[in-house]
Structure 1
Amino acid sequence: MRSARPTPDTTSGVIGWAAFACVLVPVVLVTFGTSLAGATGTTLGLAAVTAACRVLLRRSERCAARERAAESAGPPRGRHHRSPAGARRAGRHSGHSG
């Protein structure tokens, strides 16, 4: 059985490192002779990729959380699952046939 330890927020760590790279890469590029325009373009590209990855990671976290919640909610009850013995289904019609 799983322990109830809280899981670390790895998405925030990944995004933090990506933001750090968005700052560090242009500095290194300018330091080693790349034009300011080239470094700016690289920064914008890295920022766009970082933002897209952040959105995808957060969506993935939400989906995983929904799946965990569905697993812990018990067996699914739907069209193809039988209700317990003796259970009655409610319908639109009352008990008399007219």
Structure 2
Amino acid sequence: MAGEQHQDSTTDVVRWAAFSCVLVPVVLLWYGTSLAGATGTALGLAAVTAVCRVLLRRSERGATRSLAEERAALAEEHASLAPRRGRHHRSGTGAHRGGRHSGGNTPGG
């Protein structure tokens, strides 16, 4: 769920950057900048936006991978702290724990 929210915010940032790639040259043309200057600005903004998008996606993948590794390490730590219940590591009480059995099926009483 948090990953989806993070991805949505990244998508929003990229959308706003793309919007500004269109808006800034239009405003520059409105205020009298040459078409070549506005086009150069648009291309520069598009290049910066593309690089930022690649870096954001790479960062998301790294964060997702790091989170998965952290969860795996926590699960492994939890498993190592859990009580062992194998053949020689039984926990709890029972008839097979050793010692004398009280009452029950003894011939003398």
**In 2: Cα distance, 1:60 partner to 1:74 partner:** 21
> What does 1:1-98 align with in structure 2 at a 5 Å threshold?
7-8=4-5, 9-74=8-73
**In 2: Cα distance, 1:5 partner to 1:63 partner:** 15
1:10: how far off? 1.1
Structure 2: segments with no counterpart, 5+ residues: 77-109
Instruction: State the structure with more CA Rg.
Output: 2
Structure 1: segments with no counterpart, 5+ residues: 78-98
Structure 1 residue ranges (4+ consecutive) displaced by more than 2 angstroms after TM superposition: 4-7
Q: What is the Cα-based RMSD across aligned positions, in Å?
A: 2.0
Q: Structure 2 length normalisation: TM-score?
A: 0.62
Counterpart for residue 93 of structure 1: none
**In 2: Cα distance, 1:7 partner to 1:55 partner:** 18
Q: Structure 1 length normalisation: TM-score?
A: 0.69
Larger relative contact order (C-alpha < 8 A, sep ≥ 6)?
Answer: 1
Q: Percent identity?
A: 66
1:7: how far off? 4.1
